[in-house]
Amino acid sequence: MNAVKVDDARRVRLPMLAPGDYYVPEPMGENSILLHKVPPPRRQMTEAEVLAAIEESPIRFQSNWEALKEEVR
């Protein structure tokens, strides 16, 4: 078994892991850590994508802003 050293940023380089993969560490005790490979997280939508999704949505307000303010007061 080859020993690896933790750097100042608390990182460990493991050559058998591929760059860009995601792993969740699970402490197995005082001296062991198990890594579980997980799918990459969903990327967040850009502002343009959000605005386009709002425009494409079938949900529409049936009244204008002034009527809505009167209704809730």
Distance, in Å, from the CA atom of 59 to the CA atom of 54, rounded to the nearest integer, reads 9
pLDDT of residue 72: 85
**pTM tops 0.75, yes or no:** no
Domain assignment of residue 58, yes or no: yes
> For the chain, what is the domain count?
1
* Domain residue limits at 50: 44-73
Read off the pLDDT of residues 41-65 as tens digits, 9 standing for 90 and up. 889 999 999 999 999 999 887 778 8
Domain assignment of residue 7, yes or no: no
pLDDT band at 1, cuts 50/70/90?
low
Read off the pLDDT of residues 2-32 as tens digits, 9 standing for 90 and up. 788 889 999 888 888 889 999 999 999 888 9
